[in-house]
Amino acid sequence: MGPSVLSAWLQSRYRKNVYLFIYYLIQFCGHSWIFTNMMVRFFSFGKDSMVDTFYAIGLVMRICQSISLLELVHIYVGIESNHLFPRFLQLMERVIILFGVITSQEEVQEKYVVCVLFIFWNLLDMVRYTYSMLSVIGTSYTILTWLSQTLWMPVYPLCVLAEGMYFTYSHLYMERRDVLRVFSIKKKM
Q: Please, are residues 111 and 169 in contact by the beta-carbon 8 Å criterion? A: yes
Catalytic residue, candidates 23, 131, 163, 166: 163
Cα(82)–Cα(170) distance, integer angstroms = 33
Closest C-alpha among 81, 72, 101, 104 to residue 17: 81
Cα 43 to Cα 184: distance, rounded to the nearest angstrom: 42
Burial class of 98 by CB neighbour count within 10 A (0 to 12, 13 to 18, 19+):
buried
**Is 69 in contact with 9 (CB distance < 8 Å)?**
no
CA 63 to CA 49: how far, in whole Å?
A: 21
Q: Rounded to two decimals, what is the model's pTM?
A: 0.80
Evaluate if residue 181 carries a pLDDT over 70.
no
Number of Cβ within 10 Å of residue 44's Cβ equals: 9
Determine what percent of the chain is predicted with pLDDT higher than 90.
40
What pLDDT band is residue 4 in, cutting at 50, 70 and 90?
low
Confidence band, pLDDT 50/70/90 cuts, at residue 184: low
- Give me the helix-helix angle, 142-150 and 112-136, nearest 10°: 130
Minimum mean pLDDT among 13-22, 139-148, 154-163, 174-183: which range? 174-183
Verify whether residue 14 is a known catalytic residue: no
Interval 158-170 mean pLDDT: 72
**Candidates 156, 166, 169, 175; catalytic one:** 156
Q: Does 106 participate in catalysis according to the annotation?
A: no
